[in-house]
Amino acid sequence: MKALILVGGFGTRLRPLTLSVPKPLVEFANKPMILHQIEALVKAGVTDIVLAVNYKPEVMAAVLKNYEEKFGITIEFSIEKEPLGTAGPLALARKVLGKDDSPFFVLNADITCEYPFEKMRDFHIAHGNEGTILATKVEEPSKYGVIVTQPSSSKVDRFVEKPVEFVGNRINAGIYIFNPTILGRIELRPTSIEKEVFPAMAADCELHTFDLEGYWMDVGQPKDFLTGTCLYLSSLAKRSPEMLAPASEAYMHGGNVLVHPTARIGKGCKIGPNVTIGPNAVVGDGVCLQRCVLMEGTQVKDYAWVRNSIVGWNSSVGRWSRLDGVTVLGDDVQIADEIYVNGASVLPHKSIKANVCEPGIVM
């Protein structure tokens, strides 16, 4: 089987992290975002993966080469000279996606969930039609485009954009599986799969939905990256609790804490709930961490408090300092002692020596 991952451009929504690392390689729960997806695809029998990108960072090519060898798969870049929307990349990758009759997955690189690729594949093959959309249920469907199915069926009847009256609560989760025949519907030009291709497939009774169980989140911007991390850790607590720090640890304060084995944690800390601590991170004495992510090589000094924030690679937070309000530190940022930072996006290699009380970009 084959898969196309829609990566896109420079990851501007996730800056300042993506100023140093390409978006697919930013660690989500201590593992590159794209590796979560590749592992799940390989498990479902995928052997050929295409990354649809606007540019090809050399660092990404080197990492993906390692993944090719590790999993025994082929990974190719499909580089768009102009943005091709959500359907155009399928036409550009036609050579790989259409090389045989087996179906192929298409997924958005920013989506995290429990990736039910195996169940989705079996469901798709069983119904025998051209496409299957992964659907997730939401509490406020009026904010989204809603999928309406035929009565007592998984077949898609129509799509309703931001409905005023209740017509359903299933929305497009950004993951699909298609037969190669779909390629006959798509021209090599900027095209929207949601607005141009899906309505035609639904009219031909060739499109089904498959309901996602569990959590779902687009983690393409910092506040959603943090929310997605919380959802992932909650899922991990149910599926593989042994991967999380045990409740018996003296620093545990609320559960769902993921600590890399190489990280060091001081005395008298309160950590949790929903915290990820990366490789070689150093947490001082008396530190309080809540709903935050510490990337590789970070240092949080004694009695600091980090909440609702992402501390980028090799950055340090001074003694008695406090980060809050979806603060994001880029690579190698130094926060001085006794500093308060609220909702700031701090670009790489900066030193902060005065309080930042209002959300904004620190350049």
Active site residues: 162
Q: Under 8 Å CB-to-CB from 190, ≥6 apart: which residues?
A: 82, 83, 84, 85, 88
Q: Under 8 Å CB-to-CB from 33, ≥6 apart: which residues?
A: 23, 24, 25, 26, 27, 109, 110, 112, 219
Q: Which of 315, 242, 330, 321 is nearest to 289 (CA)?
A: 321
Residues forming beta bridges with residue 32, ordered by sequence position? 27
CA distances from 77 to 8, 107, 170 (A): 11, 15, 32
What whole-number distance in Å separates Cα of residue 50 and Cα of residue 108?
A: 12
Query: CB atoms < 10 A from the CB of 185, how many?
Result: 21
What whole-number distance in Å separates Cα of residue 298 and Cα of residue 265?
A: 12
Say if CB 263 and CB 269 are below 8 A apart: no
Say if CB 216 and CB 173 are below 8 A apart: yes
Q: State both tokens at 102.
A: 């087996």
Q: Which amino acid, residue 121?
A: R
User: 3-state class of 213 per DSSP?
Assistant: coil
Q: Under 8 Å CB-to-CB from 140, ≥6 apart: which residues?
A: none
Q: What is the CA radius of gyration of the chain?
A: 22
What whole-number distance in Å separates Cα of residue 244 and Cα of residue 240?
A: 8
Dihedral of CA atoms 343, 344, 345, 346 in degrees, nearest 10, equals -150
